Amino acid sequence: MTTNRTPATRRPVRWHTGGPGAAQRLLGRLRDRAREQQRAEAHRLLEADLRGLWREACAGVGLCQYIDVATGMTVRTPKFGALRLGPAGTSFTVEQLPGGEPDDITRHAARLAHSLGFAGLRVQPLAGRWLRVVLFEVDPLASTFRLPDDVIGRADAPVLLGRAEDGSLVEHVLASPGHIAVQGQNGSGKSQLSYGLTAQCAAAADVLVTGSDITGLLLGRAWDGTAHREWQVTGSRDLVAHAEHLDRLVAWMDTRLDAMPPRRDSVTPTVQTPLVLVVLEEFPGLLRAAQAKDRKLAERITSAVLRLLSEGRKAAFRVLMLAQRFEANAVGGGYARDQFAVRVSFRVPAESLAMLHGDDARPLGPEHANAAPGIAYLSAPGHDCTRLRAPYLGGYGAFCDRIARHGRRPDTDQEDAA
């Protein structure tokens, strides 16, 4: 059979008829094409390299399934899809194993990332079993992370708790139910975190920063001239004042519970009924000092704090308790400790970490016992065992400046709590 279709002829490159500069333009185009081919080849090689490393790393951390086939045992790992290199960083897609969850990868994030030659990774679910793994060149926990000069305007806006290992920001909404426990050895970063938290909500019209601080640094003088100051008791000279103040807060909470509107079981923070953040800085120290003076006084303080912890949630009261170690005896008993939904541990001995976060935190114990100041371990609803770097506000002077700048001034709109 014959065909009369003529083969396509290659058209000659007529650069000599292309007008002025045609030869240069042609050379430019050829160079671009060569560069693009080189780039595509480099991309292909890097992709093949990472694919191999990914497979080995997954098998190394046990993120694999062993399948018995006729030729022997074969290892199946989450499938590496396509590599993406761009200004936003390096990432690739992965198809999870049947029955797999993004958590399976997150749990081994640091080890997998290190095997690939990166400092960390974050997992973003895509569709179905597919995920995107975003790689980080720099360890987000290793460098100091400055707290932006931002404040929240309302109790239901999120405050920044820190930056997680995967580079994502970890936030907490004060209005969400849950008291906050912060533990850590001397100089581990408890106060810096609390400076940041309180400074972020100092301006909110529906938040009142109250509490007891025997050190007089977190609360007290720094808050002079603000609406919060009259609700704060400081110093260790007059311990009865601390007990009286906590009783006053409990009485306020009771008034709210008694006045609960029909068909409602919790108070929503408003300007008239603000969210009351009860800060208890170095609470075990307050209890010890009270015990040394008068056993009854210590019991009075403990029972007031227990009431705030157990019933505060409904009345828009939130406790932020700081301690070097959340031992049951030191914080008013195991029941008190169990009331904290948000738990943050800076550098603490391995035992203390497991005590506050449970057995899941045990494997990290030895490493976390030597963590640098500002690195914390967080357990909270939606954040299971997250390591983060708390934001650094810039020293005590910077904290005082922020409170002076943003601290809400006294006004007459709020309910009469007395």
Residues placed in the known binding site for ATP: 184-191
Stretch binding ligand ATP (CB under 6 A), from 104-112, 125-133, 184-192, 362-370:
184-192
- Closest by CA to 151, choosing from 206, 194, 204, 205, is 204
Q: Which is nearer to Mg ion, 191 or 200 (CB)?
A: 191
Does the footprint of ligand ATP cover residue 178 (CB under 6 A)?
A: no
Name the H helices within 166-238. Answer: 190-201
Q: Which is nearer to ligand ATP, 267 or 388 (CB)?
A: 388
What is the footprint of ligand ATP within residues 378-397 (CB under 6 A)? 390, 392
Q: Which is nearer to ligand ATP, 316 or 356 (CB)?
A: 356
Please, which residues have CB within 8 angstroms of residue 332's CB and are 6 or more apart in sequence?
283, 287, 302, 305, 306
Burial class from Cβ neighbours inside 10 Å (0-12, 13-18, 19+) for residue 10 reads: exposed
Q: Which is nearer to ligand ATP, 100 or 394 (CB)?
A: 394
Phi, psi of 264 (to 5 degrees): -130, 145
Q: Minimal CB distance to ligand ATP: which residue?
A: 374
Q: What angle do CA 93, 95, 96 make, to 5 degrees?
A: 130
Does the footprint of ligand ATP cover residue 153 (CB under 6 A)?
A: no
Does the footprint of ligand ATP cover residue 140 (CB under 6 A)?
A: no
Stretch binding ligand ATP (CB under 6 A), from 173-181, 189-197, 258-266, 283-291:
189-197
Does the footprint of ligand ATP cover residue 183 (CB under 6 A)?
A: no
Binding residues for ligand ATP, total number by CB under 6 A: 15
Distance CA(331)–CA(69), nearest Å, equals 57
Tokens of 292: 């040394």
CB of 44 to ligand ATP, least distance (A): 42
Please, which residues have CB within 8 angstroms of residue 288's CB and are 6 or more apart in sequence?
330
- Closest by CA to 210, choosing from 289, 281, 310, is 281
Q: From Mg ion, ligand ATP, none, which one binds at residue 186 (CB under 5 to 8 Å depending on kind)?
A: ligand ATP
CA 157 from chain centre, in angstroms, equals: 15
**Residues linked to residue 183 through DSSP beta bridges, in sequence order:** 323, 345
Q: From Mg ion, ligand ATP, none, which one binds at residue 200 (CB under 5 to 8 Å depending on kind)?
A: none
Q: Which of 373, 394, 414, 417 binds ligand ATP (CB under 6 A)?
A: 373
Does the footprint of ligand ATP cover residue 340 (CB under 6 A)?
A: no
Residue numbers at the binding site for ligand ATP (CB under 6 A) = 144, 184, 186-192, 324, 346, 373-374, 390, 392
